[in-house]
């Protein structure tokens, strides 16, 4: 993991915005954030361009120039994923508090002061924004629902707590999160294993101001794998349970076949179909177990092989450039 030291006056609030193909919306998000929060807080905005394929890099550079050192651009060398990009931005922040916003303008910066007030008044480490009415597609809502149910089991998060990408955290929590060195970070998993001082408030969820969602099945599967395999050994335990259940069911099945042959239907033919069914059953179970173990071993190998969490191509602001 590459660390880039960029010195700046210590702000009260840092805003981290991961950018991926957000050229059409990122300018509006930054302008709105600074307009809403600039009069009340000493604010820095950290833009993390996560290998965008559009004109996002140029747009982010223009924002750095326009806002005179209040905006920092962290350019990654390729696309590493949203959570890797957020972690890279968090490592760069200097604020007492850190807010995470999406680059599509669906997270209203007007809600940040309320979230910050909730965090300070109740001495919490993180406050999530729970959307009153989600403007996501049906596919995204189904993915979020499944992710929430799995997080209850895998991360043991408090039931009813909605793990949204819109959140505000204090410096203690951020400093603990950025210590993670693995190549497959999952921000909410890191939060859940660090603290139980978590809260949420109802917030507005706006429509996208431009572009289309980058939320795909591939990205969703990668997120689930990071949660399943990066922060729990429950899948391995489920594999053991699955092995016992299938073994027990096969014994019951064979006993039923024997009873049927001896006392119910002596004329029934027992042979190839039964054998094939057993082979298919046990082969499927073995592949599931081996695949799960293989994922764990593969991730250990990649981590030991030095697979980077992210690589910073350069960090730039109006007053400084580190390359």
Whether 242 maps to a domain, the answer reads yes
pLDDT of 132 over the 50 cut: yes
37 and 114 co-located in one domain: yes
pLDDT averaged over the chain?
A: 84
Partners of residue 184 on adjacent β-strands: none
Q: What's the predicted TM-score (pTM) here?
A: 0.78
CATH code, 172: 3.90.550.10
Closest CA to 27 of 103, 99, 93: 103
The predicted-structure confidence for 246-272, as pLDDT tens digits, reads as follows: 777 777 777 887 787 788 887 776 666
Note whether residue 53 is domain-resident. yes
In angstroms, the CA 222 to CA 139 distance is: 16
Buried b / exposed e along 166-195 (16+ C-beta atoms within 10 A): bbbbbeebbebbbebebbbbbbbbbbbebb
Task: Take residue 6 and report the two structure tokens written for it.
Answer: 């960029």
Domain enclosing residue 142, as ranges: 13-215+308-322
User: Is residue 200 domain-shared with residue 250, that is, in the same domain?
Assistant: no
88 within 8 A of 76, measured Cβ to Cβ: yes
Beta-bridged to residue 46, according to DSSP, are 16, 72
Structural domain includes residue 7: no
Same domain assignment for residues 200 and 55: yes
pLDDT band at 46 (very low <50, low <70, confident <90, very high): very high
Q: What is the pLDDT of residue 136?
A: 63
Residues 209 and 247 in one domain: no
The structural domain count of the chain equals 2
């Amino acid at each position: 993991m590459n660390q880039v030291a960029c010195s700046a006056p210590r702000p009260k609030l840092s805003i981290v915005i991961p950018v991926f193909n957000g050229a059409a919306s990122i300018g509006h998000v930054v302008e709105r954030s600074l307009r809403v929060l600039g009069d009340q807080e000493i604010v820095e905005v950290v833009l993390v361009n996560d290998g965008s394929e559009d004109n996002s890099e140029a747009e982010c550079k223009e924002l750095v120039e326009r806002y005179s050192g209040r905006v920092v651009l962290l350019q990654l060398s390729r696309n590493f994923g949203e959570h890797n990009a957020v972690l890279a931005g968090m490592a760069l922040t200097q604020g007492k508090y850190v807010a995470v916003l999406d680059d599509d303008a669906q997270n209203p910066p007007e809600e940040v002061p309320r979230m910050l007030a909730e965090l300070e008044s109740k001495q919490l480490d993180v406050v999530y924004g729970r959307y009153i009415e989600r403007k996501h597609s049906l596919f995204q809502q189904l993915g979020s629902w499944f992710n929430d149910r799995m997080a209850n089991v895998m991360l043991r998060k408090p039931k009813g707590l909605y793990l949204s990408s819109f959140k505000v955290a204090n410096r203690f929590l951020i400093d603990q999160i950025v210590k993670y060195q693995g190549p497959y970070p999952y921000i909410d998993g890191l939060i859940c294993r660090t603290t139980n001082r978590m809260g949420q408030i109802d917030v507005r969820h706006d429509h996208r101001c431009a572009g289309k969602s980058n939320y795909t099945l591939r990205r969703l599967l990668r997120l689930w794998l990071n949660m399943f395999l990066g922060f729990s050994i429950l899948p391995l335990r489920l594999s053991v349970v699955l092995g016992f259940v299938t073994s027990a069911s096969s014994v019951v099945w064979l006993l039923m076949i024997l009873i049927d042959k001896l006392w119910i239907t002596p004329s029934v033919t027992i042979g190839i179909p039964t054998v094939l069914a057993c082979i298919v059953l046990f082969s499927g179970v073995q592949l599931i177990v081996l695949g799960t173990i293989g994922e764990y071993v593969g991730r250990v190998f990649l981590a030991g092989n030095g697979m980077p969490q992210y690589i910073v191509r350069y960090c730039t602001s109006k007053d400084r450039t580190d390359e």
